[in-house]
């Protein structure tokens, strides 16, 4: 049996073909929700169709007429192809499966596509005083259930998905998503590295190899003097301390990740206990950095499991398969 999964984010969309639960082919393109405001839905539907045709060429026994098509991510946002309201936590795999909706999108396929909604924290009447309790996701919910299934995780646990928008997702003993917390860690690191005064000190971009000692030094300075001053210290490392590129870039990574650790430790949405087990899967440099800092932080006493993307089936696609299995 064939299934096609579509994972569409703010800036990128991935199309994957699965044969009996195993990855068969895939394509990605830099098109997403951000492009729809300027160009309308056609830019996304044509991009998805082109990726489908290219991927299908690698799997000659699969066609759009003989497979299930499932979509998740920002494609279900208010301005997406199939707007769906967030489910309110706690959300189990069964809940997500029941909430999936089918919609005909002829520009992509003659058969309907199943769309999986996002998830938001259970907070009524959000005010400026309780913003920290609110959070939401579109796409990471299927990634979470994909990771739970592949690693056979039995909660309670904290699922960490590092990236442009890092997600920290708490699941309970019933494998339900109960809350989440989001940071702009990846976007911040990118902006600091390429679009600020620090760019002249980080001409090679991100670290090619993580320097653990300087990762810890950056985190320590952030704890001592805060985020902004610590970031400027990267310039001081360059001008006065003779630091290598990987040392400077690792130092900055330590600052950004320490800010994330501070956020999740104090988050009223997550309400973490020190002994909670942590599972990390995502961008390799971020993941290794987070795992390193967590293991060294005396407050966090739970186990830390780091899984690289190459060790897993693609989380968004496999998670969508896992959700749809519940509908059968």
Q: What percent of the chain has pLDDT over 70?
A: 98
Hey, what CATH class is 123-313 in?
alpha beta
Alpha helices in the chain (DSSP H): 33-39, 41-56, 93-99, 140-151, 185-194, 212-225, 227-240, 245-266, 284-296, 315-325
Q: What is the DSSP secondary structure assignment for residue 88, as one 8-state letter? A: E
Alpha helices in 40-82 (DSSP H): 41-56
Q: What is the pLDDT of residues 55-104, one digit of tens each?
A: 999 998 888 888 899 999 999 999 888 999 999 999 999 999 999 999 99
- CATH number 3.30.420.300 given to 2-117: yes
- List the domain boundaries for the chain: 2-117, 123-313
On the question of pLDDT at 32 being above 90, the answer is no
**Tokens found for residue 162:** 């590092």
On the question of pLDDT at 27 being above 80, the answer is yes
Choose between 328 and 47: higher pLDDT: 47
Average pLDDT in the 133-139 region?
97
On the question of pLDDT at 143 being above 70, the answer is yes
Q: Which residues of 226-264 are buried (b: 16+ CB within 10 A; e: fewer)?
A: eeeebbebbbebbeeeebebbbbbbbbbbbbbbbbbebb
Alpha helices in 112-154 (DSSP H): 140-151
Q: What is the pLDDT of residues 147-158, one digit of tens each?
A: 999 999 998 999
């Amino acid at each position: 049996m064939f299934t096609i999964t579509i994972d569409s984010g703010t800036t990128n969309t991935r199309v994957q073909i699965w044969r009996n639960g195993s990855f068969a082919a895939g394509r990605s393109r830099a098109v997403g929700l951000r492009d729809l405001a300027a160009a309308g839905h056609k830019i996304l539907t044509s991009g998805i169709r082109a990726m489908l045709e290219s991927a299908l060429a690698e799997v000659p026994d699969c066609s759009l007429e003989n497979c299930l098509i499932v979509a998740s991510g920002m494609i279900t946002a208010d301005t997406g192809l199939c707007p769906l309201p967030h489910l309110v936590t706690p959300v189990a795999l069964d809940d997500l499966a029941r909430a999936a909706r089918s919609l005909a999108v002829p520009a992509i396929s003659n058969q309907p596509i199943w769309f999986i909604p996002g998830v938001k924290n259970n907070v009524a009447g959000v005010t400026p005083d309780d913003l920290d309790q609110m959070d939401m996701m579109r796409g990471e919910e299927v990634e979470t259930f994909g990771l739970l299934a592949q690693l056979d995780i039995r909660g309670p646990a904290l699922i960490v998905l590092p990236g442009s928008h890092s997600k920290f997702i708490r699941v309970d003993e019933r494998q339900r998503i109960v809350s989440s917390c989001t940071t702009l860690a990846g976007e911040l690191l990118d902006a600091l590295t390429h679009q600020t005064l620090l760019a002249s000190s980080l001409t090679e971009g991100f670290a090619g190899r993580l320097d653990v000692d300087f990762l810890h030094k950056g985190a320590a300075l952030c704890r001592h003097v805060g985020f902004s001053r610590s970031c400027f210290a990267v310039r001081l490392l360059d001008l006065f301390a003779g630091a290598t590129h990987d040392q400077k870039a690792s130092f900055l990574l330590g600052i950004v990740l320490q800010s994330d650790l501070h956020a999740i430790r104090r988050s009223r949405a997550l309400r973490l206990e020190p002994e909670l087990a942590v599972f990390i899967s995502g961008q390799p440099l971020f993941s290794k950095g987070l795992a390193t800092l967590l293991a060294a932080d005396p407050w966090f006493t739970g186990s830390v499991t780091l899984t690289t993307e190459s060790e897993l089936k693609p989380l968004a696609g496999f998670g969508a398969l896992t959700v749809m299995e519940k509908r059968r």
